[in-house]
């Protein structure tokens, strides 16, 4: 092949292959579930202003779809509009381009800390990250089609296909939020094409709101003149409008959709455990909803007294804010705490109000330290797996692996409800195997 032909060949190959961003580095992540993929960023990640894509948390309700061929990919927009439209990625890229740093946080971040425990992915701190998003205003796209006066909700649908009889992941946002100039359709993250895990080629950016609204792998937007009845709006991602007793069953009529995030901070260093006496730098990150972080206060004595931390200079309305404070650690037991407050005066609670799905955890983070001059050893960990009961493989491990259950430590009644839900979603659970499987789940993965 001569040079010109080779160049032409390379150019053709570049057009045919979608330029998908790079995937997460599993060695840098806490794997909550490998299939579907749920990856958590470890605490160390909270020391960086922009979260690198290879350390960015991933949350998928089902398997990640194959990347579409970009010359075939289309975004369809219809519903109560004057003129339904179909856009290519190039169409989007020729529209006014917007860049914004924003935090994306799963509504379930911190779920593992709720007592009594709740079902679902058992996130600790790291189902959150701060990225630079590039794309277009959703408003500009909607205006191309022209909203009718009756428009109320904007329905996002991605290319992911549900598992079994699970309902399709479809979410709506109200038209006011959709028309806000900061609500975007993004095609790039940290300066590169979106990766397959984060929604290639286009995802929704709904800053200040929990990330269940940030639909990935977008291919269809429908403008509705009514409230959407789908499972992921009417049943999932709802929390009680008023405080409820821990462990209570809440009437669905008392539940409202999760929207805004809660103001929150995380201590990245030091980690809980043993440290030597001397000067210690305490550092971490704080973020909020549409009202930016105004201050972070740190306590070295379990909340008796508080000192303002120094905030980092990098900031943005929806971005997170690094903070730090130096401390002279003396021998003995100490509890460090960090508490963020936003410009609206919202601050973190010392104790979390419980809710049935374990959403929006933002209680003050506590780090327990033993400051000592002694040398320390780690205890060994026994990873031997227990034996599986009959039918478990077929009924439970066809769609996902056991990490899904290992992380959820539930009561027998909660496992019983999970089995009903999964059977409803098509899990081939034989009635004669049910009791043994319920017993196995309840004894292996209990609170
Ligand atoms: N199409 C689609 N979009 C989705 C999801 C999904 O399962 N399918 N998960 C949502 C949830 S619950 C979260 S927390 C975020 C996670 O975004 P990330 O994986 O890019 O970090 O994506 C949201 N968008
Ligand atoms: Mo989520």
* Dist. CA 250 → ligand 2 center (Å): 21
Q: How confident is the model over 181-198, as a mean pLDDT? A: 98
CA dihedral 111, 113, 119, 122 (to 10 degrees): 60
Per-residue pLDDT reduced to its tens digit, 76-99: 999 999 999 999 999 999 999 999
Q: Is residue 12 domain-resident?
A: no
> Could you give the C-alpha distances from 320 to 62, 184, 195, 225, in angstroms and in order?
28, 18, 22, 35
End-of-domain residue from the set 257, 283, 298: 257
**Is 119 near ligand 1, meaning CB less than 6 Å away?**
no
Alpha-carbon distance 166 to 62, whole Å? 9
- Is 351 in the same domain as 418? no
Flag whether pLDDT at 3 surpasses 70: no
Q: How confident is the model over 24-32, as a mean pLDDT? A: 94
Flag whether pLDDT at 26 surpasses 90: yes
Q: Is residue 376 domain-resident?
A: no
End-of-domain residue from the set 222, 257, 292: 257
Q: Is residue 197 domain-resident?
A: yes
pLDDT given for residue 74 in this prediction: 98
Concatenated DSSP letters for 203-216?
EEE-TTB-GGGS--
pLDDT given for residue 21 in this prediction: 87
Cβ(224)–Cβ(151) below 8 Å: yes
**Is 60 near ligand 1, meaning CB less than 6 Å away?**
yes
Q: Pocket of ligand 1, candidates 121, 216, 257, 360: which has the most ligand atoms within 8 Å of its Cβ, to mutate?
A: 216
- Is 343 in the same domain as 416? no
pLDDT given for residue 108 in this prediction: 98
Contacts of 445 (CB under 8 A, 6+ apart): 405, 406, 408, 409, 410, 415
- Is 326 in the same domain as 430? no
Q: How confident is the model over 387-391, as a mean pLDDT? A: 91
- Is 79 in the same domain as 148? yes
Q: What is the CATH number of the domain that holds 351?
A: 2.60.40.650
**Is 211 near ligand 1, meaning CB less than 6 Å away?**
yes
* Dist. CA 42 → ligand 1 center (Å): 19
Cβ(400)–Cβ(408) below 8 Å: no
End-of-domain residue from the set 233, 257, 281: 257
Per-residue pLDDT reduced to its tens digit, 334-387: 999 999 999 999 999 999 999 999 999 999 999 999 898 887 655 555 556 668
**Is 209 near ligand 1, meaning CB less than 6 Å away?**
no
pLDDT given for residue 274 in this prediction: 86
Alpha-carbon distance 406 to 358, whole Å? 17
* Dist. CA 302 → ligand 1 center (Å): 35
Per-residue pLDDT reduced to its tens digit, 278-305: 999 999 999 999 999 999 999 999 999 9
Alpha-carbon distance 64 to 225, whole Å? 30
Which of the ligands is closest to the CA of residue 111?
2
Q: Is residue 10 domain-resident?
A: no
Contacts of 336 (CB under 8 A, 6+ apart): 267, 270, 282, 298, 299, 300, 327, 366, 367, 369
Q: Is residue 412 domain-resident?
A: yes
Q: What is the CATH number of the domain that holds 428?
A: 1.10.760.10
**Is 59 near ligand 1, meaning CB less than 6 Å away?**
yes
pLDDT given for residue 444 in this prediction: 86
Phi/psi-derived region of residue 194, left when phi > 0, alpha when psi is between -120 and 50, beta in every other case = beta
**Is 61 near ligand 1, meaning CB less than 6 Å away?**
yes
Q: Is residue 51 domain-resident?
A: yes
Smallest CA-to-CA distance from 329 within 297, 373, 265 is with 373
Cβ(158)–Cβ(117) below 8 Å: no
Concatenated DSSP letters for 88-145?
-HHHHHTSPPEEEEEEEE-TTTTGGG-SS--SS----S-SEEEEEEEEEEHHHHHHHH
Q: Pocket of ligand 1, candidates 214, 218, 230, 236: which has the most ligand atoms within 8 Å of its Cβ, to mutate?
A: 214
Q: Indicate the pTM of the whole model.
A: 0.88
Q: Is residue 110 domain-resident?
A: yes
Q: Is residue 8 domain-resident?
A: no
Helix (H) or strand (E) holding 415: helix 412-424
pLDDT given for residue 8 in this prediction: 45
Flag whether pLDDT at 310 surpasses 50: yes
Which atom of ligand 1 sits closest to the CA of residue 36? 7
pLDDT given for residue 298 in this prediction: 98
**Is 190 near ligand 1, meaning CB less than 6 Å away?**
no
Flag whether pLDDT at 142 surpasses 90: yes
Which atom of ligand 1 sits closest to the CA of residue 58? 19
Per the structure, the complete domain to which residue 237 belongs is given by 17-257
- Is 126 in the same domain as 237? yes
Alpha-carbon distance 230 to 261, whole Å? 22
- Is 179 in the same domain as 290? no
Alpha-carbon distance 211 to 127, whole Å? 10
In this structure, the residue with its CA closest to atom 15 of ligand 1 is: 211
pLDDT given for residue 383 in this prediction: 55
Helix (H, G, I), strand (E, B), or coil: what is residue 179? helix
Q: How confident is the model over 261-272, as a mean pLDDT? A: 96
What percent of the chain lies above the pLDDT cut of 90?
Answer: 85
- Is 234 in the same domain as 326? no
Which of the ligands is closest to the CA of residue 131?
1
- Is 87 in the same domain as 136? yes
- Is 188 in the same domain as 324? no
Q: Is 388 exposed, middle or buried (0-12, 13-18, 19+ CB in 10 A)?
A: middle
Average the pLDDT over each of 11-15, 50-54, 175-179, 311-315 and give the range with the smallest value: 11-15
Higher pLDDT, 180 or 2: 180
pLDDT given for residue 377 in this prediction: 56
Predicted confidence band at 260 (pLDDT cuts at 50, 70, 90)? very high
**Is 160 near ligand 1, meaning CB less than 6 Å away?**
yes
Which atom of ligand 1 sits closest to the CA of residue 198? 20
- Is 252 in the same domain as 268? no
**Is 32 near ligand 1, meaning CB less than 6 Å away?**
no
**Is 204 near ligand 1, meaning CB less than 6 Å away?**
no
Sign of CA dihedral 42, 45, 46, 50: negative
Q: How confident is the model over 18-31, as a mean pLDDT? A: 88
* Dist. CA 172 → ligand 1 center (Å): 13
- Is 109 in the same domain as 198? yes
Note the Cα 353 to chain centre separation in Å: 20
In this structure, the residue with its CA closest to atom 14 of ligand 1 is: 106
Q: How confident is the model over 237-251, as a mean pLDDT? A: 96
Number of domains in the chain: 3
Q: What is the CATH number of the domain that holds 233?
A: 3.90.420.10
- Is 330 in the same domain as 236? no
DSSP-derived letter for residue 218 is E
**Is 123 near ligand 1, meaning CB less than 6 Å away?**
no
Q: How confident is the model over 419-436, as a mean pLDDT? A: 94
Q: If you average pLDDT over every residue of the chain, what do you get?
A: 93
Residue 85 has phi, psi (to 5 degrees) of: -135, 160
């Amino acid at each position: 092949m001569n040079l010109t032909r080779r160049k032409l060949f390379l150019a053709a190959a570049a057009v045919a292959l979608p330029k998908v961003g790079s995937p997460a580095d599993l060695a840098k992540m806490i794997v909550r579930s490998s299939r579907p993929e749920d990856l958590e960023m470890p605490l160390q990640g909270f020391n960086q202003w922009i979260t690198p894509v290879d350390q960015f948390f991933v949350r998928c309700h089902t398997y990640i779809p194959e990347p579409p061929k970009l010359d075939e990919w289309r975004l369809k927009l219809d519903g109560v509009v004057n003129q339904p439209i179909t856009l290519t990625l190039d169409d989007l890229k020729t529209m006014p381009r917007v860049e914004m740093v924003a935090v994306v946080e799963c509504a379930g971040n911190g779920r593992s800390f709720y007592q009594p425990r709740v079902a679902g992915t058992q996130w600790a701190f790291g189902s959150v990250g701060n990225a630079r998003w590039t794309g277009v205003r959703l408003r500009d796209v909607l205006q191309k089609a022209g909203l009718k006066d009756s428009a109320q909700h904007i329905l996002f649908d991605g290319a992911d296909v549900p598992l079994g009889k699970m309902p399709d992941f479809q979410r709506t946002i109200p038209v006011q939020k959709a028309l806000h100039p900061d609500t975007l359709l993004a095609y790039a993250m940290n300066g590169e094409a979106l990766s397959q895990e984060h929604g290639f080629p286009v995802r929704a950016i709904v800053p200040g709101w929990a990330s269940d609204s940030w639909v990935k792998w977008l291919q269809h937007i429908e403008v509705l003149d009514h409230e959407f009845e789908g499972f992921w709006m009417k049943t999932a991602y709802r929390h009680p409008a008023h405080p409820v007793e821990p462990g209570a069953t809440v009437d669905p009529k008392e539940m409202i959709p999760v929207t805004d995030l809660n103001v929150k901070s995380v201590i990245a260093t030091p980690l809980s455990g043993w440290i030597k006496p001397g000067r210690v730098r305490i550092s971490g990150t704080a973020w909020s909803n549409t009202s930016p972080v105004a201050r972070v206060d740190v306590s070295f004595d379990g909340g008796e007294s508080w000192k303002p931390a120094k905030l980092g200079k990098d900031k943005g309305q929806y971005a997170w804010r690094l903070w730090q404070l130096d401390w002279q650690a003396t021998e003995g037991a100490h509890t460090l705490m960090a508490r963020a407050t936003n410009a609206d005066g919202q601050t973190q609670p010392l104790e979390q109000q419980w809710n049935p799905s374990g959403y929006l955890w933002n209680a003050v983070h506590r780090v327990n330290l033993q400051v000592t001059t002694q040398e320390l050893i780690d205890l060994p960990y026994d990873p031997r797996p227990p034996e599986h009961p009959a039918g478990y493989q077929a009924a439970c491990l066809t769609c996902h692996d056991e990490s899904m259950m290992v992380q959820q430590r539930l009561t027998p009644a909660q496992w019983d409800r999970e089995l009903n839900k999964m059977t409803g979603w098509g899990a081939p659970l034989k009635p004669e195997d049910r009791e043994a499987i319920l017993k196995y789940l309840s004894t292996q993965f209990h609170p």
